[in-house]
A and B are shown apart, each in its own frame.
Chain A
Amino acid sequence: MKLVIAVIKPFRLDDVRDALAQIGVKGMTVTEVKGFGRQKGHTELYRGAEYAVDFLPKIKLEVALDAALLEQALEAISGSAQTGKIGDGKIFVYDIEQVIRIRTGETGSDAL
């Protein structure tokens, strides 16, 4: 079982969700985050006080899946999140030790 964490541009979220749904991934967790990599921030001005704002709004997506779906999922996310411009984001892949469905107590792949 794998945990895929993707940091993407916020306006790509709907496309990523649709692309994952198409390969059979139905559930995910989404957080609003701030971050930067190579993308430059911008300046904001409040009455003569200029501020360099480096942290840009991003969306962090977390999806737990069967190892079998991993390659397709990575392709789906990359394909739908990409704009070609700096700041598109990154994907990280982790191993999951255990998964439990809280309602029923199912574990392992049955809980995904």
Chain B
Amino acid sequence: MKFFLTPNMARLTVALGLLLNVTQAAADEGGLSAGDTAWMLTATALVLFMTIPGLALFYAGMVRAKNVLSVLMQCFAITGLATIIWIIVGYSLAFTGDGAYWGSLEKAFLKGVTVDALSGTIPETVFMTFQMTFAIITPALIVGAFAERMKFSAMLWFMGIWLILVYAPICHWVWGGGWLGEMGVLDFAGGTVVHINAGIAGLVACIVLGKRNGYTKTPMLPNNLGYTIVGAAMLWVGWFGFNAGSELAADGTAGMAMAVTQIATAAAALGWMFSEWLFHGKPSVLGIASGAVAGLVAITPACGSVGPMGALAIGIAAGVLCYLAATKLKNALGYDDSLDVFGVHAIGGIVGALLTGVFVAGSLGGVGLAEGVSISQQVGKQAIGVVATIIYTGVASFIILKVIDMVIGLRVSSDEESEGLDIALHDERGYNLGA
């Protein structure tokens, strides 16, 4: 009988194995981490899933049947558009350059982002694509504010320009080495960059465009709340990629980010549900879905800093306050924010951003305040981040909208609005029920 493995071969094999282990360990310490990369590849897919189909369905179910396709179309088109703009200038403006307020074009057209380029312990391609999915969902969130009345062409122009002039700079301010990050503002996964940003832009847009014809008199019932809650569920699951993925690594912080995301979301869903039960008399499907999204938004800036109890508090606050904003505040002030982008994303984002400053404190279960910074000082920094974002995005969005309005007009005609955007703008019908 022949031996396939001689003693020397055996020794060689063991030595080789040890060498490989050492090499792998060296890579984990200084270069690419397979674990981190595997997670971030997954997280990227989860965040894209949040937009298509998550957000797309969440919104589509809430509009009238004659406009169901228009919302889906907007989300899909933004996904394509944001991708292209991101690779051309967006990524570079957001994440390169030493400017406090504006990035550089050194990575325009993804120059330098090669197969082997690293960003920390993950390939830069993965980091770039992960961030791209954020640049996709932020403009997509805004569509909820002007649903059922915006011209498709004007929407494309607005989103394209907005990504370059508003999203990229704010992203740079917080995550790309700009002034807010340097100042110590805590925004782990984009409460400011994504939610307050989109929420305020949405408020401005719905006011500039004006209310839908017949708003408050004509019933404008959600055509398919089934879509809406399915979409909300997809957002909930996908958000683990959004929040835990913002750690850019597969580690304890990511684990805690996932845990606090779940806690805050559940608390907010129940918070909205019980508020509605109390104020209106019955809990609703739209309410619990909206509550969950409010919780997801509020925990977004906080998920890298707070602990489980902090998340519980943030969730309850978001559920109750966003319920009040979407129902009482909107009706009191009279703006037609069709799908409550301001009520949920701006208010939820602000609540989360400010409470991050509170619950980061070690005494309240967080990871601990920065050296020499008190809770009130941290909340002060958070407030500066909030206010700066509100002002910049508010003003810039307004200007971009007005310019587009002057050139091509923002709103569809009255007839088109009555007929429904699906037929008027896309020559399609969402439902062809019946033989």
Q: Is the CB of B280 within 8 A of A45?
A: yes
B219: interface (CB < 8 Å): yes
| A44: contacting residue among B221, B327, B340, CB under 8 A | B221
Q: Mark A34-48, 1 if CB is under 8 A from B, else 0.
A: 000000000011111
Q: Is the CB of A45 within 8 A of B284?
A: yes
Taken together as a complex, chains A and B put the C-alpha atoms of A46 and B221 apart, in Å, by: 7
Q: Is the CB of A46 within 8 A of B330?
A: no
B331: interface (CB < 8 Å): yes
Shortest distance between the CB of A89 and any CB in chain B (Å): 23
A51: interface (CB < 8 Å): yes
Taken together as a complex, chains A and B put the C-alpha atoms of A47 and B280 apart, in Å, by: 10
CB contacts (< 8 Å) of B340 on chain A: these are: 47
Q: Mark B208-232, 1 if CB is under 8 A from A, else 0.
A: 0000000010011110000000000
The number of chain B residues touching the other chain, given as a range, is 10 to 19
Taken together as a complex, chains A and B put the C-alpha atoms of A105 and B3 apart, in Å, by: 93
CB contacts (< 8 Å) of B327 on chain A: these are: 47-48
Shortest distance between the CB of A99 and any CB in chain B (Å): 24
CB contacts (< 8 Å) of B216 on chain A: these are: 49
A86: interface (CB < 8 Å): no
A68: interface (CB < 8 Å): no
Taken together as a complex, chains A and B put the C-alpha atoms of A46 and B225 apart, in Å, by: 10
Q: Is the CB of B326 within 8 A of A51?
A: no
B290: interface (CB < 8 Å): yes
Taken together as a complex, chains A and B put the C-alpha atoms of A45 and B290 apart, in Å, by: 14
A102: interface (CB < 8 Å): no
Taken together as a complex, chains A and B put the C-alpha atoms of A60 and B221 apart, in Å, by: 24
Q: Is the CB of A47 within 8 A of B221?
A: no
Q: Is the CB of A48 within 8 A of B331?
A: yes
Q: Mark A53-96, 1 if CB is under 8 A from B, else 0.
A: 10000000000000000000000000000000000000000000
Interface residues of B in 275-304 (CB under 8 A from A): 280, 282, 284, 286-287, 290
Taken together as a complex, chains A and B put the C-alpha atoms of A52 and B219 apart, in Å, by: 8
CB contacts (< 8 Å) of A46 on chain B: these are: 62, 221-222, 284, 286
CB contacts (< 8 Å) of A48 on chain B: these are: 326-328, 330-331
* Chain B, residue nearest A51 (CB): B219
Q: Is the CB of A47 within 8 A of B219?
A: no
* Chain A, residue nearest B222 (CB): A46
CB contacts (< 8 Å) of B280 on chain A: these are: 45
Shortest distance between the CB of A34 and any CB in chain B (Å): 13
Across chains A and B, which 4 residue pairs bring their CB atoms closest together, nearest first? A48-B327, A51-B219, A47-B326, A46-B286
Selected A-B contacts with CB under 8 Å, 17 pairs = A44-B219, A44-B221, A45-B282, A46-B221, A46-B222, A46-B284, A46-B286, A47-B287, A47-B290, A47-B326, A47-B327, A48-B327, A48-B328, A48-B330, A49-B216, A49-B331, A53-B219
Q: A48-B328, A48-B331 are in contact. List 14 more A-B contacts (CB 8 A).
A: A44-B221, A45-B282, A46-B221, A46-B284, A47-B287, A47-B290, A47-B340, A48-B326, A48-B327, A49-B220, A51-B219, A51-B221, A52-B219, A53-B219
